Amino acid sequence: MTDVSKKSDFPILKRRIHGKRFAYLDSAATAQRPVVVLKAMDEFQRKHNANTHRGIYLISEEATALYEGARQKVAAFIHAQPNEIVFTRNATEAINLVAYAWGRANIVTGDNIIVTEMEHHSNLVPWQLLCKERKAELRVVPVTDEGAVVMKEFTKLLTHRTKLVAVSGMSNVFGTMPDLAVIARSAHRKNALVLVDGAQLAAHVPVDVKKLGVDFLALSAHKMLGPMGIGVLWAKRELLEAMPPFLAGGDMIREVSLQTATWNDLPWKFEAGTPNAVGAVGFGAAVDYLTKLGMGSVRRHEMALTAYALKKLRHIKGVSIYGPTSARLKGGVIAFNVQGIHPHDLATLLDREGVAIRSGHHCAQPLMQKFGVMATARMSFSVYTTKQDIDQCIAAIAKATKVMA
Protein backbone atom coordinates (compact mmCIF):
# COMPACT_ATOMS: atom_id res chain seq x y z
CA MET A 1 0.00 0.00 0.00
CA THR A 2 1.42 3.37 -1.02
CA ASP A 3 0.33 6.72 0.37
CA VAL A 4 -1.37 8.97 -2.17
CA SER A 5 -0.32 12.19 -0.48
CA LYS A 6 2.49 13.38 1.76
CA LYS A 7 1.71 13.83 5.42
CA SER A 8 4.05 16.81 5.31
CA ASP A 9 1.51 18.57 3.07
CA PHE A 10 -0.73 18.94 6.13
CA PRO A 11 0.86 21.25 8.75
CA ILE A 12 -1.51 20.35 11.60
CA LEU A 13 -0.40 16.71 11.46
CA LYS A 14 3.09 17.78 12.58
CA ARG A 15 1.70 18.68 16.01
CA ARG A 16 2.47 16.68 19.13
CA ILE A 17 -0.65 15.86 21.14
CA HIS A 18 -0.02 15.26 24.85
CA GLY A 19 3.59 14.73 23.86
CA LYS A 20 2.69 11.98 21.38
CA ARG A 21 2.78 11.68 17.61
CA PHE A 22 -0.57 12.91 16.21
CA ALA A 23 -2.76 10.26 14.56
CA TYR A 24 -5.83 12.03 13.21
CA LEU A 25 -8.63 9.53 12.51
CA ASP A 26 -11.68 11.79 12.42
CA SER A 27 -11.71 12.84 8.77
CA ALA A 28 -15.40 11.96 8.35
CA ALA A 29 -16.15 14.88 10.68
CA THR A 30 -13.63 17.31 9.18
CA ALA A 31 -10.70 16.63 6.89
CA GLN A 32 -7.43 18.47 7.42
CA ARG A 33 -6.18 21.02 4.89
CA PRO A 34 -3.03 20.83 2.80
CA VAL A 35 -0.62 23.74 2.50
CA VAL A 36 -1.86 24.60 -1.00
CA VAL A 37 -5.35 25.29 0.38
CA LEU A 38 -4.03 27.43 3.23
CA LYS A 39 -1.77 29.37 0.84
CA ALA A 40 -4.56 29.97 -1.67
CA MET A 41 -6.82 31.42 1.02
CA ASP A 42 -4.02 33.50 2.52
CA GLU A 43 -3.06 34.92 -0.88
CA PHE A 44 -6.66 35.85 -1.64
CA GLN A 45 -6.95 37.77 1.64
CA ARG A 46 -3.56 39.45 1.21
CA LYS A 47 -3.88 40.42 -2.46
CA HIS A 48 -7.43 40.13 -3.79
CA ASN A 49 -9.83 40.83 -0.92
CA ALA A 50 -12.84 42.63 -2.42
CA ASN A 51 -16.51 42.01 -3.09
CA THR A 52 -17.12 39.83 -6.12
CA HIS A 53 -19.31 40.94 -9.05
CA ARG A 54 -19.61 44.47 -7.61
CA GLY A 55 -16.57 46.55 -8.53
CA ILE A 56 -14.94 47.56 -11.80
CA TYR A 57 -11.57 48.14 -10.15
CA LEU A 58 -8.75 45.60 -10.46
CA ILE A 59 -8.85 43.65 -7.21
CA SER A 60 -12.63 43.27 -7.38
CA GLU A 61 -12.29 41.85 -10.88
CA GLU A 62 -9.54 39.53 -9.59
CA ALA A 63 -11.76 38.39 -6.71
CA THR A 64 -14.60 37.69 -9.12
CA ALA A 65 -12.32 35.69 -11.43
CA LEU A 66 -11.01 33.59 -8.54
CA TYR A 67 -14.49 32.99 -7.14
CA GLU A 68 -15.93 31.95 -10.48
CA GLY A 69 -12.79 29.94 -11.22
CA ALA A 70 -13.46 27.91 -8.08
CA ARG A 71 -16.99 27.25 -9.32
CA GLN A 72 -15.58 25.91 -12.58
CA LYS A 73 -13.20 23.60 -10.70
CA VAL A 74 -15.96 22.12 -8.56
CA ALA A 75 -18.14 21.66 -11.64
CA ALA A 76 -15.37 19.80 -13.49
CA PHE A 77 -14.71 17.64 -10.42
CA ILE A 78 -18.24 16.21 -10.51
CA HIS A 79 -18.68 16.45 -14.31
CA ALA A 80 -21.27 19.24 -14.20
CA GLN A 81 -21.71 22.68 -15.74
CA PRO A 82 -20.60 25.79 -13.78
CA ASN A 83 -24.08 27.38 -13.89
CA GLU A 84 -25.41 24.29 -12.07
CA ILE A 85 -23.11 24.90 -9.09
CA VAL A 86 -24.62 26.98 -6.28
CA PHE A 87 -22.30 27.93 -3.43
CA THR A 88 -23.83 27.44 0.02
CA ARG A 89 -22.49 27.40 3.58
CA ASN A 90 -22.30 23.60 3.64
CA ALA A 91 -24.13 20.44 2.55
CA THR A 92 -26.75 21.05 5.23
CA GLU A 93 -27.70 24.39 3.72
CA ALA A 94 -27.70 22.85 0.24
CA ILE A 95 -30.24 20.24 1.34
CA ASN A 96 -32.36 22.86 3.10
CA LEU A 97 -32.25 24.99 -0.06
CA VAL A 98 -33.88 22.12 -1.96
CA ALA A 99 -36.41 21.50 0.83
CA TYR A 100 -37.51 25.14 0.88
CA ALA A 101 -37.19 26.22 -2.76
CA TRP A 102 -38.08 22.99 -4.58
CA GLY A 103 -40.02 21.18 -1.83
CA ARG A 104 -42.46 23.93 -0.98
CA ALA A 105 -43.23 24.44 -4.65
CA ASN A 106 -43.77 20.76 -5.45
CA ILE A 107 -44.84 18.74 -2.39
CA VAL A 108 -48.57 18.64 -1.68
CA THR A 109 -50.88 16.72 0.65
CA GLY A 110 -50.76 12.99 -0.06
CA ASP A 111 -47.30 12.99 -1.62
CA ASN A 112 -44.42 11.07 -0.06
CA ILE A 113 -40.67 11.49 0.32
CA ILE A 114 -38.38 8.50 0.79
CA VAL A 115 -35.29 8.46 3.01
CA THR A 116 -33.27 5.63 4.56
CA GLU A 117 -32.50 4.61 8.14
CA MET A 118 -28.85 5.56 7.71
CA GLU A 119 -29.37 9.26 6.95
CA HIS A 120 -27.46 12.00 8.69
CA HIS A 121 -29.82 14.34 10.52
CA SER A 122 -29.13 16.95 7.83
CA ASN A 123 -30.79 14.70 5.27
CA LEU A 124 -33.65 13.69 7.54
CA VAL A 125 -34.90 16.64 9.62
CA PRO A 126 -35.51 18.99 6.63
CA TRP A 127 -37.79 16.36 5.10
CA GLN A 128 -39.55 15.75 8.41
CA LEU A 129 -40.35 19.46 8.61
CA LEU A 130 -41.46 19.64 4.99
CA CYS A 131 -43.72 16.60 5.26
CA LYS A 132 -45.31 17.92 8.44
CA GLU A 133 -45.94 21.30 6.84
CA ARG A 134 -47.34 19.87 3.61
CA LYS A 135 -49.18 16.92 5.17
CA ALA A 136 -47.06 14.55 3.12
CA GLU A 137 -45.72 11.16 4.21
CA LEU A 138 -42.09 10.45 5.08
CA ARG A 139 -41.26 6.87 4.16
CA VAL A 140 -38.16 5.17 5.54
CA VAL A 141 -36.23 2.38 3.82
CA PRO A 142 -34.61 -0.02 6.33
CA VAL A 143 -30.99 -1.08 6.21
CA THR A 144 -29.54 -4.52 6.86
CA ASP A 145 -27.36 -5.48 9.82
CA GLU A 146 -24.38 -4.52 7.65
CA GLY A 147 -25.91 -1.14 6.87
CA ALA A 148 -26.94 -1.84 3.27
CA VAL A 149 -30.15 -0.34 1.89
CA VAL A 150 -32.85 -3.01 1.54
CA MET A 151 -33.66 -2.47 -2.13
CA LYS A 152 -36.77 -4.71 -2.09
CA GLU A 153 -38.29 -2.48 0.57
CA PHE A 154 -37.28 0.61 -1.39
CA THR A 155 -39.12 -0.71 -4.42
CA LYS A 156 -42.23 -1.38 -2.30
CA LEU A 157 -42.23 2.12 -0.83
CA LEU A 158 -41.75 3.83 -4.19
CA THR A 159 -45.11 4.87 -5.72
CA HIS A 160 -46.53 7.36 -8.20
CA ARG A 161 -47.00 9.74 -5.21
CA THR A 162 -43.28 9.67 -4.40
CA LYS A 163 -41.86 13.07 -5.28
CA LEU A 164 -38.33 12.74 -3.90
CA VAL A 165 -35.83 10.12 -2.77
CA ALA A 166 -33.22 11.62 -0.41
CA VAL A 167 -30.30 9.29 0.23
CA SER A 168 -26.75 9.43 1.53
CA GLY A 169 -24.09 8.62 -1.05
CA MET A 170 -21.91 7.25 1.74
CA SER A 171 -22.97 6.69 5.33
CA ASN A 172 -20.95 8.76 7.79
CA VAL A 173 -21.34 5.92 10.31
CA PHE A 174 -20.86 2.72 8.32
CA GLY A 175 -19.30 3.98 5.09
CA THR A 176 -22.08 2.15 3.21
CA MET A 177 -22.44 3.23 -0.42
CA PRO A 178 -25.84 2.45 -1.98
CA ASP A 179 -26.08 1.98 -5.74
CA LEU A 180 -27.17 5.50 -6.60
CA ALA A 181 -27.57 4.82 -10.32
CA VAL A 182 -30.02 1.99 -9.64
CA ILE A 183 -31.93 4.11 -7.14
CA ALA A 184 -32.11 6.99 -9.63
CA ARG A 185 -33.40 4.80 -12.46
CA SER A 186 -36.07 3.29 -10.22
CA ALA A 187 -37.16 6.69 -8.91
CA HIS A 188 -37.31 8.25 -12.35
CA ARG A 189 -39.61 5.50 -13.57
CA LYS A 190 -42.10 6.84 -11.02
CA ASN A 191 -41.28 10.47 -11.97
CA ALA A 192 -39.60 11.03 -8.61
CA LEU A 193 -36.41 13.05 -8.21
CA VAL A 194 -33.28 11.94 -6.33
CA LEU A 195 -31.23 14.05 -3.93
CA VAL A 196 -27.87 12.71 -2.77
CA ASP A 197 -26.15 13.82 0.41
CA GLY A 198 -22.65 13.66 -1.01
CA ALA A 199 -20.80 15.14 1.96
CA GLN A 200 -18.87 11.91 2.57
CA LEU A 201 -18.99 10.45 -0.93
CA ALA A 202 -17.20 13.16 -2.91
CA ALA A 203 -14.17 13.14 -0.62
CA HIS A 204 -13.43 9.47 -1.16
CA VAL A 205 -14.58 8.20 -4.56
CA PRO A 206 -14.91 9.55 -8.11
CA VAL A 207 -18.28 11.28 -8.62
CA ASP A 208 -19.89 11.83 -12.01
CA VAL A 209 -23.39 13.28 -11.73
CA LYS A 210 -24.14 12.45 -15.35
CA LYS A 211 -23.36 8.75 -14.88
CA LEU A 212 -25.21 8.59 -11.57
CA GLY A 213 -28.28 10.15 -13.13
CA VAL A 214 -29.33 11.91 -9.91
CA ASP A 215 -31.03 15.31 -9.73
CA PHE A 216 -29.49 17.05 -6.70
CA LEU A 217 -26.11 16.64 -4.97
CA ALA A 218 -25.00 18.36 -1.77
CA LEU A 219 -21.32 18.82 -0.89
CA SER A 220 -19.29 20.29 2.00
CA ALA A 221 -15.79 21.63 1.36
CA HIS A 222 -14.51 20.77 4.83
CA LYS A 223 -15.01 17.06 4.16
CA MET A 224 -12.91 17.44 0.98
CA LEU A 225 -9.69 18.99 2.39
CA GLY A 226 -11.19 22.46 2.05
CA PRO A 227 -12.30 25.13 4.55
CA MET A 228 -15.34 25.15 6.80
CA GLY A 229 -18.25 27.39 5.98
CA ILE A 230 -18.69 26.65 2.29
CA GLY A 231 -20.45 23.94 0.35
CA VAL A 232 -22.26 23.35 -2.91
CA LEU A 233 -25.64 22.42 -4.23
CA TRP A 234 -25.48 20.88 -7.68
CA ALA A 235 -28.79 20.47 -9.47
CA LYS A 236 -29.91 19.97 -13.03
CA ARG A 237 -30.26 23.31 -14.74
CA GLU A 238 -33.96 22.92 -15.53
CA LEU A 239 -34.69 22.32 -11.84
CA LEU A 240 -32.76 25.39 -10.73
CA GLU A 241 -34.49 27.48 -13.38
CA ALA A 242 -37.90 26.45 -12.07
CA MET A 243 -37.11 26.85 -8.37
CA PRO A 244 -37.87 30.16 -6.60
CA PRO A 245 -35.02 31.84 -4.67
CA PHE A 246 -34.10 30.52 -1.24
CA LEU A 247 -32.69 33.77 0.18
CA ALA A 248 -33.37 37.32 -1.00
CA GLY A 249 -31.06 40.31 -1.07
CA GLY A 250 -28.18 41.69 -3.04
CA ASP A 251 -26.65 40.01 -6.09
CA MET A 252 -29.51 37.53 -6.58
CA ILE A 253 -31.63 40.15 -8.35
CA ARG A 254 -31.80 41.51 -11.87
CA GLU A 255 -34.07 44.50 -11.27
CA VAL A 256 -35.77 45.83 -8.14
CA SER A 257 -38.55 48.37 -7.67
CA LEU A 258 -40.32 49.28 -4.46
CA GLN A 259 -42.99 46.67 -5.15
CA THR A 260 -41.40 43.94 -7.27
CA ALA A 261 -38.14 42.27 -8.20
CA THR A 262 -36.83 39.92 -10.87
CA TRP A 263 -34.07 37.36 -10.41
CA ASN A 264 -30.51 37.06 -11.61
CA ASP A 265 -29.31 34.29 -13.92
CA LEU A 266 -28.14 30.93 -12.59
CA PRO A 267 -26.42 30.23 -10.31
CA TRP A 268 -26.39 33.72 -8.75
CA LYS A 269 -30.17 33.61 -8.31
CA PHE A 270 -29.46 31.46 -5.22
CA GLU A 271 -26.41 33.37 -3.89
CA ALA A 272 -27.79 36.36 -2.02
CA GLY A 273 -25.42 38.76 -0.31
CA THR A 274 -21.66 38.91 -0.07
CA PRO A 275 -20.32 35.41 -0.75
CA ASN A 276 -17.65 33.48 1.09
CA ALA A 277 -15.17 34.16 -1.70
CA VAL A 278 -12.10 33.16 0.30
CA GLY A 279 -13.81 29.89 1.19
CA ALA A 280 -14.61 29.25 -2.46
CA VAL A 281 -10.98 29.84 -3.39
CA GLY A 282 -9.91 27.37 -0.71
CA PHE A 283 -12.48 24.86 -1.99
CA GLY A 284 -11.12 25.25 -5.50
CA ALA A 285 -7.57 24.63 -4.29
CA ALA A 286 -8.73 21.52 -2.42
CA VAL A 287 -10.41 20.21 -5.55
CA ASP A 288 -7.19 20.84 -7.48
CA TYR A 289 -5.28 18.83 -4.87
CA LEU A 290 -7.69 15.89 -5.01
CA THR A 291 -7.78 15.99 -8.79
CA LYS A 292 -3.98 15.81 -8.94
CA LEU A 293 -3.99 12.81 -6.61
CA GLY A 294 -6.68 11.11 -8.68
CA MET A 295 -9.89 9.99 -6.99
CA GLY A 296 -9.36 6.41 -8.17
CA SER A 297 -6.05 6.39 -6.27
CA VAL A 298 -7.75 7.94 -3.23
CA ARG A 299 -10.36 5.18 -3.25
CA ARG A 300 -7.75 2.39 -3.54
CA HIS A 301 -5.67 3.91 -0.75
CA GLU A 302 -8.62 4.08 1.62
CA MET A 303 -9.85 0.59 0.77
CA ALA A 304 -6.43 -0.80 1.68
CA LEU A 305 -6.37 1.17 4.94
CA THR A 306 -9.90 0.08 5.82
CA ALA A 307 -9.10 -3.58 5.22
CA TYR A 308 -5.97 -3.24 7.36
CA ALA A 309 -7.84 -1.53 10.21
CA LEU A 310 -10.71 -4.04 10.15
CA LYS A 311 -8.24 -6.91 10.41
CA LYS A 312 -6.42 -5.28 13.33
CA LEU A 313 -9.63 -4.43 15.19
CA ARG A 314 -10.90 -8.00 15.01
CA HIS A 315 -7.86 -9.15 16.99
CA ILE A 316 -8.85 -7.04 20.01
CA LYS A 317 -11.04 -8.89 22.50
CA GLY A 318 -14.44 -7.35 23.11
CA VAL A 319 -14.59 -5.20 19.96
CA SER A 320 -17.89 -5.04 18.06
CA ILE A 321 -17.76 -3.66 14.50
CA TYR A 322 -20.86 -2.16 12.88
CA GLY A 323 -21.65 -2.04 9.19
CA PRO A 324 -20.00 -3.85 6.28
CA THR A 325 -17.14 -6.15 7.20
CA SER A 326 -15.55 -5.90 3.76
CA ALA A 327 -13.54 -2.82 2.75
CA ARG A 328 -14.84 -3.26 -0.79
CA LEU A 329 -18.37 -2.46 0.38
CA LYS A 330 -17.65 0.71 2.31
CA GLY A 331 -15.76 3.95 2.46
CA GLY A 332 -12.95 4.71 4.88
CA VAL A 333 -15.17 4.76 7.97
CA ILE A 334 -15.36 2.16 10.76
CA ALA A 335 -17.88 2.34 13.61
CA PHE A 336 -17.11 0.12 16.58
CA ASN A 337 -17.48 -0.32 20.32
CA VAL A 338 -15.31 -1.96 22.95
CA GLN A 339 -17.09 -4.05 25.57
CA GLY A 340 -17.11 -2.38 28.97
CA ILE A 341 -15.86 1.00 27.73
CA HIS A 342 -18.19 3.87 26.85
CA PRO A 343 -17.24 5.42 23.48
CA HIS A 344 -16.65 8.82 25.10
CA ASP A 345 -14.28 7.25 27.65
CA LEU A 346 -12.49 5.41 24.86
CA ALA A 347 -12.06 8.61 22.86
CA THR A 348 -10.66 10.36 25.94
CA LEU A 349 -8.15 7.59 26.59
CA LEU A 350 -7.09 7.53 22.94
CA ASP A 351 -6.61 11.30 22.95
CA ARG A 352 -4.03 10.86 25.71
CA GLU A 353 -2.14 8.63 23.29
CA GLY A 354 -2.23 11.24 20.52
CA VAL A 355 -5.09 9.56 18.64
CA ALA A 356 -8.17 11.52 17.55
CA ILE A 357 -11.33 9.49 16.90
CA ARG A 358 -15.01 10.42 17.05
CA SER A 359 -17.48 9.18 19.65
CA GLY A 360 -21.22 9.73 19.89
CA HIS A 361 -24.30 9.22 17.73
CA HIS A 362 -22.67 10.87 14.69
CA CYS A 363 -25.84 12.85 13.89
CA ALA A 364 -27.54 9.55 13.07
CA GLN A 365 -29.62 8.80 16.15
CA PRO A 366 -32.23 6.64 14.34
CA LEU A 367 -29.43 4.39 13.11
CA MET A 368 -28.01 4.09 16.63
CA GLN A 369 -31.47 3.15 17.90
CA LYS A 370 -31.82 0.48 15.24
CA PHE A 371 -28.64 -1.20 16.44
CA GLY A 372 -29.52 -0.81 20.10
CA VAL A 373 -26.68 1.52 21.08
CA MET A 374 -26.59 5.10 22.31
CA ALA A 375 -23.26 5.80 20.65
CA THR A 376 -20.26 4.25 18.92
CA ALA A 377 -16.61 5.04 18.48
CA ARG A 378 -15.59 5.82 14.90
CA MET A 379 -12.30 5.98 13.08
CA SER A 380 -12.25 7.50 9.62
CA PHE A 381 -9.56 7.99 7.02
CA SER A 382 -8.40 10.39 4.34
CA VAL A 383 -5.56 10.77 1.86
CA TYR A 384 -3.05 11.55 4.61
CA THR A 385 -3.91 8.55 6.81
CA THR A 386 -1.20 5.88 7.12
CA LYS A 387 -0.84 2.38 8.50
CA GLN A 388 1.24 3.93 11.27
CA ASP A 389 -1.79 6.00 12.32
CA ILE A 390 -3.91 2.86 12.48
CA ASP A 391 -1.25 0.93 14.39
CA GLN A 392 -1.05 3.78 16.90
CA CYS A 393 -4.83 3.70 17.31
CA ILE A 394 -4.97 -0.08 17.71
CA ALA A 395 -2.23 0.03 20.33
CA ALA A 396 -4.11 2.77 22.19
CA ILE A 397 -7.34 0.75 22.14
CA ALA A 398 -5.50 -2.30 23.48
CA LYS A 399 -4.02 -0.15 26.25
CA ALA A 400 -7.46 1.29 27.06
CA THR A 401 -8.92 -2.22 27.49
CA LYS A 402 -6.27 -2.92 30.11
CA VAL A 403 -6.84 0.39 31.88
CA MET A 404 -10.61 -0.16 32.03
CA ALA A 405 -10.50 -3.88 32.83
Q: Is 363 a catalytic residue?
A: yes
Write the single-letter amino acid at 146: E
Instruction: Mark out the alpha helices in 161-276 (DSSP H runs).
Output: 180-189, 209-212, 237-242
Cβ neighbours around 360 below 10 Å, total: 17
* Residue 336 backbone dihedrals phi, psi, to 5 degrees: -155, 165
Torsion over CA of 71, 72, 76 and 78, rounded to 10 degrees?
20
d(CA 150, CA 148): 6
Cβ neighbors of 181 (< 8 A, separation 6 or more) are 211, 212, 213
Do residues 95 and 195 touch, judged by C-beta distance below 8 A?
A: yes
Instruction: Mark out the alpha helices in 135-236 (DSSP H runs).
Output: 151-157, 180-189, 209-212
SS3 state of residue 338: strand
In DSSP notation, 33-80 reads --HHHHHHHHHHHHH--S-TTT--SHHHHHHHHHHHHHHHHHHHHTT-
Do residues 323 and 147 touch, judged by C-beta distance below 8 A?
A: yes
Helix (H) or strand (E) holding 263: strand 261-263
Query: Closest Cα to residue 16, out of 374, 352, 360, 367?
Result: 352
Q: Which of 140, 321, 363, 395 is catalytic?
A: 363
Write the single-letter amino acid at 316: I
Query: Which residues are known catalytic residues?
Result: 363
